[in-house]
Amino acid sequence: MNLERRTVQVYNLPVDSDISLLKPEQVILRFPHGKTIDIGSLCYLIRQPIAKSHLGARRNSKSGRLVQISSIYEQRKQDIRLLISHISEYFLHSGKRVETIKDMVSRLVVFIYWADQNGFFDVLNKKQLAKNAIIQYTHYLKERVSRNEINVNSGARQQNTIIQFLCDFFEDEELKFGIFLIRVNSRLKKHTQSPCENVQGRILSLCENIFDGLTSLVLEHKQYPYKLVMPDHLNFTENILWIFPVESWFIHPSKALRKRHSCLAYNYLTGTLNTLEQIAELRLRPNTNISKDYSILKQAEHNLIAANKNYRHNQRMHVGTIAVNAFIILFFSQTGMNLSQALNLSWGKDYEISSSNQSFRIVKWRAGGKECSFEVPLEFMPRFKKFIALREYLLNEQECEYLFFTLGERGLGAPRQLKSGTLHGIYLSLRRIDPYLQMVQSREWRAAKSDWLVRNTDLATAASVLQNTEKTVLSSYIAGSESSHWEELSSFLHNMSNVVLSTKNDQKNLLKSATGQCSSFGNPLALNNEDSINKPNCIDPEGCLFCDKYRIHVDETDIRKLISCRYCIEKTAHIIGSLEEQRATLRPILSRIDLILDKLKEYNEQLVTKILLEVEEGELDDYWARKLEMFMELEWIT
């Protein structure tokens, strides 16, 4: 295949309607976030193969895809002109996010690649041919699903995107009629799981310390060397990270005494300047000229004086941008906003704060002629106001339409919109301080926020804060973290044992749970010391099942709780996975419940039998009834 480069021209979306595209085969469309699509290459029937079915081959954003020049299809030039105009109009008036439109057009490019390979060259100008192509493309997608190359939901999304795009392009909704639709399987959807609470805490404590400390350094004109307080879990000496106004604004304490090329005069362990002897020890290569070390020391002294006198010293600007990066992580955790929303969040100087309820505040402003808003917890407002002050300091009266921005290299350039890879870069810099830090994506913060809101408020409040529908919150973000699931199930099954109490027993010192009572939560003790598999603890459910602190009364309330619990477990068992996984996970739980029920029957078999029948008919304990209803909302059970 003889592929070669061609002349290209990049056009920003939306394309000015007054521009006449004389050579559509040269057009590359650029989206506001900087990503591009080589739409002009579709004028050629032989093109560089696509590396990834949904993203296209990797290439420089300003260079065109390689093509066979002689394969240009003259009849398609006008089709591409119309396609560019359609995409531009859709960009202006659809109200869709930039990422959504980019994904849609990328998927269309994939479809046209397939169409050209299968002889449907006029798929963009003949409706009946387009319909026939969609029918054949559907068969192709189904075959890929059957070969496990893609899952059924990916196939459904690709088919639906192409059908809807062509219906809009041809302005004919009837195009979709008579086509076999690939149905989405809701059980195959990967629900976002909330990150472990320990992981969240480690990230947030670090970001809070960085933001609070560096903002104080910058806005309050604190002096260098600066003590940046760090979280206890990092085990730094006196929990201090020393900051200097130089390129290496900090060095991890574990590396502070390693030999290095630069910043020799700064002692990152004590927050002082090094002596001449210490400078000599840090050098990678011995230096016989002591005057050079003396010069380095004097230069460091002058640098400290300059940074402490200059309120807008370049290193203060630099650490100010680092404080902004830390705040972005905090912002994700508090608002549950997704990455594209946050990066495209506009901002206006005149904003107001109002109360949505006792625990949340709404931040409102106008930008681009429309009202914008988001909700944050009341306790987050002081940090948000501090961020706005930091933002104004960094911009120094420069205009920036975005709430979050970058100032280029070391905070000294003009403000620009953050790119989608920003989050990854922020975590890389944070790992210089905490090498064991795990990355949490914005979608995972959203799941964590949703989980917290549902647990601590209600579904309506969660939907309001996340700016979503209640159904979306339920279906996409209610998974919670694995550790919280274990903890919750632990409290549901709260330390089961074979101890059954009569209704006359004193309940003053017992803690109520969803399945009965507990005599001493947090102090698990094994029923059988020889049992190495089911070790008791108050976190893992299998540990709780074989603990001696569980209590249950022979009364209707406690028995209904226990039987309702078993009913829900059985109804949702298929969610876990294969039959082997279900048996391994659930058999100990169900066996333990059955043992307790057998013991209860010895006291009042008639009552146990009665409640068993009632629960089977749907008369569950209130708590478990709500749980079952939630699973039904998620369509995990029917």
| Boundaries of every domain in the chain | 9-188, 222-310, 482-633
Nearest to 263 by CA among 273, 254, 463, 253: 273
Q: How far is it, in rounded angstroms, from Cα 158 to Cα 156?
A: 6
CB atoms inside a 10 Å sphere around CB 60: 7
Distance CA 305, CA 575 (A): 64
The span from the first CA to the last CA of the chain, in angstroms, equals 54
| Radius of gyration for the alpha carbons in the chain, expressed in angstroms and rounded | 31
In whole angstroms, give the CA distance from residue 383 to residue 324.
11
- Which residues touch 188 (CB under 8 Å, ≥6 apart)? 151, 152, 153
Contacts of 59 (CB under 8 A, 6+ apart): 38, 48, 65
Token readout for 410 is 């070391």
Bridge partners, residue 366, by sequence: 371
Q: How far apart are CA 31 and CA 271, in angstroms?
A: 47
Instruction: Give the percent of the chain with pLDDT over 90.
Output: 36
By percentage, how much of the chain surpasses pLDDT 70?
76
Distance CA 100, CA 94 (A): 11
Q: What does the alpha-carbon distance between residue 338 and residue 331 come to, in Å, rounded to a whole number?
A: 10
Cα separation, 301 vs 291, in Å, equals 15
- Residue among 404, 405, 421 nearest 413 (CA): 405
Name the residue type at position 255. Answer: K
Q: What's the count of helices (H) and strands (E) in the chain, helices before strands?
A: 19, 16
**How many Å apart are CA 72 and CA 68, to the nearest integer?**
8
pLDDT of residue 188: 59
- Quick one: pLDDT at residue 490? 45
- Ranges in the chain, pLDDT < 70: 1, 50-62, 186-192, 288, 356-358, 368-369, 408-411, 451-550, 576-578, 580-581, 584, 633-638
Instruction: Please report the pLDDT score of residue 170 as a whole number.
Output: 92
Strands lying side by side in the sheet with 511-512: 500-501, 550-553, 517-518, 511-512
Q: What is the reported pLDDT for 54?
A: 39
Q: Are 318 and 312 in contact (CB under 8 A)?
A: no
Q: Which uninterrupted H or E stretch holds 375?
A: strand 370-377
User: Which residue do the tokens 């089961």 mark?
Assistant: 496
Calculate the CA 527 to chain-centre distance: 42
DSSP 8-state symbol, 356: E
Residue 124 CA neighbour count, 13 Å, CB half: 21
Give residue 530's pLDDT: 40
Interstrand relation of 272-273 and 266-267 (parallel, antiparallel or unpaired): antiparallel
pLDDT at res. 514: 54
Distance CA 61, CA 42 (A): 16
**Which three-class secondary structure state does DSSP give residue 355?**
strand
Alpha carbon of residue 236 to chain centroid: 29
For 565, the 3-state DSSP assignment is: helix
Question: Rounded to whole angstroms, what are the CA distances from 266 to 73, 176, 255?
Answer: 66, 69, 13
Give per-residue pLDDT as tens, 252-267: 999 999 998 889 999 9
The one-letter code for the residue type at 150 is I
Q: What is the pLDDT of residues 152-176, one digit of tens each?
A: 888 999 999 999 999 999 998 888 8
Spatial neighbors of 548 by CB under 8 A, at least 6 apart, are 495, 497, 499, 525, 526, 527, 536
pLDDT for 424: 85
Q: How far apart (Å, rounded) are the C-alpha atoms in residues 458 and 160? A: 34
Amino acid at 504: K
pLDDT score for 422? 80
Which has the closest alpha carbon to 82: 15, 8, 12? Answer: 15
Dihedrals phi, psi of 67, to nearest 5 degrees: -140, 165
